[in-house]
């Protein structure tokens, strides 16, 4: 049985990586703020440190979030684009807030260690005002990109119908030999009566990501422009695990029974 590359050890490594990113972020900003402002004290510097640490941690984790969705394959093409846009927007908003907090802390450096609680009024107003003003053009751009993405997705999903290619190959040319059928029947099902397999042919070639139904009939190929072999040429079949599947795109499927 092939080892699952995304098993327990893989996810444990990610959890350790998340924790390490947090400590790295906290350490870097502690060193940076201490070098510029000396002791980190007072509400303004504490808030700046908190925003910078957690914001930078989020930026560190964004690639992990995208990789997780690609591993689980829960998003289609349009959802992938929307997720990328959302993460880019969040990273931008957080980055601008970090920059604004740090910049105005530097400007009001001599006034941030005054006695008394509460936030320094001019500092707070400057941080929020500059942050909001800087976000206005970015919000306009993000809105336009989101609107364009929605229109493209709506047009593609509503008006064009199925995006996979379809051709008619006689059923006899798609029926696997009995010994191969027996092999495939022991493989885990991806869908009801459906399995994804790799086929090895008599000439040594391998055909990857072949969709087989009822353990014997080849119904579709992935990343293959045509079926240039016969099912009778198959000498071995291997199961493809969920974790080994490529990123799904409907346009890369070729259906072989002629149906749309």
Q: Record the tokens describing residue 232, joined without a space.
A: 């009778």
Tell whether 153 and 217 lie within a shared domain. Answer: no
Strand partners, 211: 196, 220
Name the pTM for this structure: 0.46
Say how many domains are in the chain. 2
Q: Are residues 126 and 238 in the same domain?
A: no
Same domain, 183 and 91: no
Mean pLDDT calculated for residue range 101-115 = 73
Predicted confidence band at 116 (pLDDT cuts at 50, 70, 90)? very low
Residues 204, 90 share a domain? no
Question: Pick from 142, 144, 143, 151: which is nearest to 89 by CA?
Answer: 142
Selection from 140, 165, 52 nearest residue 99 by Cα:
52
- Is the pLDDT at 212 greater than 90? The verdict is yes
What's the pLDDT score for residue 21? 87
Last residue of a domain, one of 159, 187, 219: 159
pLDDT at 260 over 80: no
Asked if the model's pLDDT at residue 77 lies above 70, the reply is no
pLDDT tens digits, 132-190: 888 888 788 877 877 777 777 676 666 555 677 888 888 888 999 999 999 999 998 88
Tokens of 202: 């008599």
- Which tens digit of pLDDT belongs to each residue from 5-52? 666 777 788 888 888 888 998 899 899 888 888 777 777 788 888 888
* Residues 59 and 174 grouped into a single domain: no
Query: pLDDT at position 182, please?
Result: 92
Residues 154 and 171 in one domain: no
Q: How is 70-137 classified by DSSP, letter by letter?
A: HHHT---HHHHHHHHHHHHHHHHHHHHHHHHHHHHHHHTGGGTT-SSSS--HHHHHHHHHHHHHHHHH
At residue 1, does pLDDT exceed 60? no
């Amino acid at each position: 049985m092939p080892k699952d590359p995304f098993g327990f050890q893989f996810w444990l490594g990610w959890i350790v990586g998340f924790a390490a990113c947090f400590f790295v972020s906290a350490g870097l900003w502690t060193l940076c703020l201490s070098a510029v402002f000396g002791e980190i004290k007072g509400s303004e510097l504490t808030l700046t440190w908190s925003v910078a640490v957690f914001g930078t941690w989020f930026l560190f984790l964004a690639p992990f979030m995208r990789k997780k969705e690609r591993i689980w394959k829960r998003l289609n093409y349009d959802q992938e684009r929307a997720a990328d846009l959302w993460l880019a927007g969040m990273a931008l908003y957080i980055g601008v807030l970090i920059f604004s907090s740090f910049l105005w802390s530097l400007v009001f450096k001599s006034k941030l260690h005054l006695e008394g609680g509460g936030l320094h009024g001019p500092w707070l107003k400057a941080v929020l005002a500059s942050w909001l003003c800087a976000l206005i053009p970015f919000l306009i751009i993000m809105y336009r990109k989101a609107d364009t993405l929605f229109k493209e997705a709506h047009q593609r999903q509503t008006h064009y119908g199925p995006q996979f290619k379809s051709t008619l190959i006689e059923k006899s040319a798609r029926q696997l030999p009995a010994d191969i059928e027996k092999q495939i029947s022991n493989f885990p099902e991806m869908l009801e009566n459906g399995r994804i397999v790799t086929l090895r042919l008599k000439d040594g070639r391998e055909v990857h990501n072949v969709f087989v139904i009822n353990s014997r009939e080849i119904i579709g190929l992935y990343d293959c422009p045509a079926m240039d072999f016969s099912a009778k040429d198959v000498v071995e079949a291997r199961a493809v695990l969920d974790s080994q599947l490529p990123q799904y795109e409907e346009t890369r499927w070729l259906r072989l029974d002629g149906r749309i």
